Amino acid sequence: MSAGSVLIVSGKPESAGSMESMLVKEGFYPVYCAHSANEARRQFINMQPDLLIISTPLPDEQGIDLVFDAHERTSAGIVVIARPEHLFDMQASLEKTGALILPKPINRLTLLQTVRFALSVRNSLTQLRSERDSLKKRMDERKVIEQAKWTLVEKLSMSEPQAARLIQKRAMDLRLPQIQVAEEIIKKYE
């Protein structure tokens, strides 16, 4: 699985460094580190990470707000590593973000499995969003074509099949998509 970019956010540079070297050894690349929530937010401007690992608490905040910001600004899979006494509160707060929350201390195998799972979920969601957007675009185009067809029925007293055929024929003759022909018809008659 190609992981794309990973951003590790940890207030402890040694902890971030050990996670970074482990992920690089496992084939994840590139791996970036930020040592505060604000530094991570600045990095969101320059990159769209595929995976975000946040080890809480951070020097400038608990980390919950960063998860919400990351959820809004990126499509990254999010893994949060928290102290056991904060797990319940974090799970309740972050439930809608889809972040995976693990208790400290974390072992290598658990982190790797969770990271792979987060990426798998992220990839599935990205594919679903793409399919949804494609369907929405096709439905929107269909609505415009239908509007043009009914405009021809109304303005030129055509039957519905005649209007549909006219749009199809004009699109083929002009080597244009039907949506473009439909938009021109709407502009012309309305």
Residue ranges of domains in the chain: 6-106, 133-189
Tokens of 112: 């790797």
- What does pLDDT average to in each consecutive run of 10 residues of the chain (190 residues)? 79 92 89 93 87 94 92 89 90 88 90 89 86 95 95 93 94 95 91
Sheet holding 31-34, edge to edge: 31-34, 6-10, 51-55, 77-82, 100-103
Task: Give the end-to-end CA distance of the chain in Å, rounded to a whole number.
Answer: 52
Predicted pLDDT of residue 1:
44
Predicted pLDDT of residue 12:
93
Tokens of 172: 């083929």
On the question of a common fold for 6-106 and 133-189, the answer reads no
Predicted pLDDT of residue 126:
83
Pick the CATH number of 133-189 from 1.10.10.10, 3.40.50.2020, 1.20.1250.20, 3.30.310.220: 1.10.10.10
Predicted pLDDT of residue 3:
60
Phi, psi angles (nearest 5°) of residue 37: -65, -40
CA distance 80 to 91: 10
For residue 185, what are the contacts with CB-CB under 8 A and spacing of at least 6?
148, 151, 152, 167
CA distance 106 to 51: 17
Indicate the CATH number for domain 6-106. Answer: 3.40.50.2300
Residue 4 Cα to chain centre, angstroms: 14
